[in-house]
Amino acid sequence: MNILDKIVTDKRKEVALKKTVIPRSQLERSVLFDRKSNSLATALKHSDTGIIAEHKRRSPSKDTINQNTNVGQVAKGYKSAGVCGMSVLTDIKYFGGSIEDLVLARASVNIPLLRKDFIIDEYQIMEAKAYGADVILLIAAVLTKNEIKNLSEFAKSINLDVLLEVHNEEELTKSIMPSLDMLGVNNRNLKTFEVSLDTSKDLSSLIPEDFVKVSESGISSIEAIKSLKNYGYEGFLIGENFMKTDKPGESAHKFIDQLK
């Protein structure tokens, strides 16, 4: 079994258990369920820099990145750096995050927040909304075309933006549908952890114009962003490059200043 299969197997168990502890009807009663969403796709379209900064403590490819973070402070730092949005990893077992991280970020900022997790069930989308997310990530590598359709339409029905992540042409062609707002190309292969920005460049011409294009992972230089912009990318998801420093917000600030 590859790592992605393991993550999804564990995720199915986690979701089944969570459903018994907090039923959907209770999620719907969260005050955040009625909060007006803040669109990440719109923010990216109106930005010259397009940075989406991530909160990530550890990952299966890197182990520890930063265990001493205060997610509320990181959120404030990213906001004052001028990011378009923040991605909050909520997977516990493999990334050291939690759904509470999302609500703590939401308590600190009103910028668009992406719930970054392995979403396989509507329940997790309800949970994302209840804990303050504006956007969900769907990963084509772990979903069928039908699942992508059902989950993205459900997210749209509760006013969440959808970022669909692909890694190759096959995933991309099966996924193109009107219920998505943004198409993200992950430069990291989630099965082997290999990283190459060429993945974004190679797939760019296959993404229809009406989707905001996002390049994800392995981005650490201004040059990388400048070259990805030539391929039509408007969003850049950066985690480790900021999180490996003591002050992720300040690192993001310096980075964004150089982009302007």
Q: Which is nearer to ligand IGP, 2 or 25 (CB)?
A: 2
The residue written with tokens 């099966």 in the block is: 174
In the complex, minimum distance from the CB of residue 195 to ligand IGP, in angstroms, rounded to a whole number: 7
Check if 28 is active-site: no
> What x/- string results for residues 132 through 171 when contact with ligand IGP is judged by CB under 6 A?
-------x-------------------------x------
Tokens representing 254 are: 């310096």
Check if 116 is active-site: yes
Number of residues engaging ligand IGP in binding (CB under 6 A): 15
Cα–Cα distance, 121 to 123 (Å, whole number): 5
Strand partners, 185: 166, 215
Range 62-91, binding ligand IGP (CB under 6 A): none
In the complex, minimum distance from the CB of residue 165 to ligand IGP, in angstroms, rounded to a whole number: 6
Q: For residue 228, which of 207, 245, 247 has the smallest C-alpha distance?
A: 207
The reply on whether position 217 binds ligand IGP by CB under 6 A is: yes
Catalytic pick among 11, 56, 79, 129: 56
Cα–Cα distance, 155 to 130 (Å, whole number): 12
Q: Which is nearer to ligand IGP, 152 or 186 (CB)?
A: 186
Range 97-136, binding ligand IGP (CB under 6 A): 116
Answer yes or no: are the C-beta atoms of 219 and 255 closer than 8 Å.
Answer: no
In the complex, minimum distance from the CB of residue 91 to ligand IGP, in angstroms, rounded to a whole number: 7
DSSP string over 77-135: HHHHHT-SEEEEE--STTT---HHHHHHHHHH--S-EEEES---SHHHHHHHHHTT-SE
Answer for which of 112, 175, 240, 253 binds ligand IGP (CB under 6 A) is: 240
Strand partners, 235: 214
Answer for which of 101, 127, 171, 216 binds ligand IGP (CB under 6 A) is: 216
Tokens representing 196 are: 């190459």
**CA atoms lying within 13 Å on the CB side of residue 3:** 11
Active-site residues: which are they? 54, 56, 116, 165, 186, 216-217
* Residue ranges that bind ligand IGP, judged by CB under 6 A: 54, 56, 116, 139, 165, 186, 216-219, 237-241
